[in-house]
Amino acid sequence: MKNFIFIGAPGAGKGTQAAMVKQDLHLAHISTGDMLRAAVKAGTELGKEAKAYMDAGELVPDELIIAMVKERLQEEDAQNGFILDGFPRTVAQAEALQQMLEEQGLKLTAAVSFEVPEEVVIERLSGRRVCKQCGAIYHIKNNPPKQEGICDKCGGELIQRDDDKPEAIKRRLESFKADTEPVLAFYEKLGLLRKLQADAPAEEVHRKFLEAFGD
Ligand code: AMP
């Protein structure tokens, strides 16, 4: 059983890689960003609280996120291995996760850091489009849909996330440096940090991931 954490700046390709690894290794893909977006769409209490933070490119408070992940990790599919994508993003979240794993008798395989230069991240985020209906991810230059503005998979409308707009991108990168870089140090101390150069096409990064962790 394999349990991964995917860490990387926004736009480093965590979500795309997680979707590929999920297929290959049959793991549960737990994306806190996707869960929050679903909560916003459904209009739940959590969604209402989280929306303003998300639109501004700021982190949602730790206690909300930790409670959400705790519940999710208890679901059945997570018992056969998981990828946590976008969590933990603060040291407080990382500490809470260690405690949850201990309580459930689970261990992390690795905390994988997807390393991409900042200018590449900005280019990726500003060109990113997502399907409003199924969440599939595109890029206007690197991975365009067959027909502009329309999802190849489900025919849904492609939109730009509010937090992929320039002001929010800037704040998300600042938050990554201030809040999430210390998380890398946290896992380094535990001997669990693995760095992966991710400034390459998705298939190539995926191949490198499988070489390192796929057996
Ligand atoms: P993402 O899709 O992972 O970039 O997440 C989108 C937004 O959701 C972030 O900019 C945050 O506002 C919020 N979010 C997602 N995961 C977390 C987390 N672990 N802690 C705090 N906020 C989060």
> pTM for the full model?
0.87
Q: Which amino acid is at 107?
A: K
3-state class (DSSP) for residue 195: strand
53 Cβ closer than 6 Å to some ligand 1 atom? yes
CB of 87 closer than 8 Å to CB of 32 = yes
Residues known to be catalytic: 14, 89, 128, 161, 172
8 Cβ closer than 6 Å to some ligand 1 atom? no
Show Cβ contacts of residue 148 under 8 Å, excluding neighbours closer than 6 positions. none
| pLDDT tier for residue 162 given thresholds of 50, 70 and 90 | confident
For 7-19, how does the pLDDT look when each residue is reduced to its tens digit (9 = 90+)? 999 889 998 899 9
Question: What is the per-residue pLDDT for 9?
Answer: 93
Task: Work out the widest C-alpha separation in the chain, in whole angstroms.
Answer: 48
For 61-113, how does the pLDDT look when each residue is reduced to its tens digit (9 = 90+)? 999 999 999 999 999 999 999 999 999 999 999 999 999 999 989 999 999 99
Mutate to test the pocket of ligand 1, among 16, 36, 126 (most ligand atoms within 8 A of CB): 36
Q: How far is CA 126 from CA 17, 157, 185, 193, in A?
A: 19, 17, 28, 28
